[in-house]
Amino acid sequence: MRIFYASDVHGSNRCFKKFLNAGKFYDCEAIVLGGDITGKAIVPFVEVSPGEVHVTFLGKNHVLRSEDEIRALEERVGDTGYYPHRCSREEADTLAADDARLHALFVEKIVGRVEEWMALAEQRLGGDGGVRCFVNAGNDDPPQIDDVMESARRVEFLEGRVVELPGALELASCGFANITPWHCPRDVEERELAERLEAVASRVGDPEWAIFNFHCPPYDTQIDQGPVLGEDMRMRSTRSPARSVEVNEL
């Protein structure tokens, strides 16, 4: 059998569409999205005067004067993984000063995009036959998206479950991770993480014929690395010609 696996699309509309198309393109029986499916930022589209919208995106200032220009940049923002939000200058200032209101809007944008993706999956993948589609959340993803995926008709939500893939393979999934500097929604203490991993792994019938879809990387492996961060949460660079960025185990 053939399985297409992807992870960490982080809200990118373009990446999710490619994921949905991958099953047919690569002649797969199943496609699996491992986690961290949501984006990281809202991009305000601020109407400063009638017919003039200002946007700062990826360090560049844009002045937009037509609906076509606005929609084109909104598409770019969505493909990058961010969430465009049209607003007045007053609302933009209010959001900047009110963390709770900004967070509520952020969750609303996240849930809305996941709802769009679940509908797109149903449209692209058709009825119950054909490629099976599995999606899990990662430690970056808020819990509000779980119900959306649980209710999807063509997407099977994986968190904490062992499901059987074509060919009698088992897929065991856990999207939680140990505590990171960012304290993400599914970051948990080591004891809880161990309990969650054990709860899933204990339901696997044949570990030698299983895929462990765990978002947290295995300890002391080549992917169990991350940049050393300073107090300002920026990466600390070294002068070593062979290694430009220090890494340490998470």
Instruction: Indicate whether 134 belongs to any domain.
Output: yes
CATH of the domain at 149: 3.60.21.10
* 249 and 138 inside one domain: no
* 226 and 142 inside one domain: no
The C-alpha angle 28, 30, 36, rounded to 5 degrees, equals: 120
* 234 and 198 inside one domain: no
Which pLDDT belongs to residue 230?
84
**Tokens 């969430």 appear where?**
83
* pTM given for the model: 0.90
* 124 and 138 inside one domain: yes
pLDDT digits (tens, 9 = 90+) for 98-127: 999 999 999 999 999 999 999 999 999 987
Q: Which has the closest alpha carbon to 159: 168, 150, 167?
A: 150
Instruction: Indicate whether 17 belongs to any domain.
Output: yes
**pLDDT confidence tier of residue 250, bands split at 50, 70 and 90:** very low
Task: Identify whether the C-beta of residue 250 lies closer than 8 Å to the C-beta of residue 180.
Answer: yes
What beta strand segments (E) does the chain contain?
3-6, 30-33, 42-49, 52-57, 60-64, 83-88, 132-135, 156-157, 162-164, 170-174, 177-178, 187-188, 210-214, 226-227, 247-248
Whether the pLDDT of residue 196 is over 60: the answer is yes
* 31 and 120 inside one domain: yes
Which pLDDT belongs to residue 225?
82
Contacts of 67 (CB under 8 A, 6+ apart): none
Whether the pLDDT of residue 241 is over 50: the answer is no
Instruction: Indicate whether 35 belongs to any domain.
Output: yes
* 158 and 226 inside one domain: no
* 224 and 212 inside one domain: no
Instruction: Indicate whether 115 belongs to any domain.
Output: yes
**pLDDT confidence tier of residue 148, bands split at 50, 70 and 90:** very high
Q: Which has the closest alpha carbon to 154: 115, 121, 130, 129?
A: 121
* 137 and 193 inside one domain: yes
* 191 and 109 inside one domain: yes
Instruction: Indicate whether 30 belongs to any domain.
Output: yes
pLDDT digits (tens, 9 = 90+) for 17-26: 999 999 999 9
Range of the domain at 119: 3-40+101-216
Task: Identify whether the C-beta of residue 117 lies closer than 8 Å to the C-beta of residue 110.
Answer: no
Number of domains in the chain: 2
* 115 and 202 inside one domain: yes
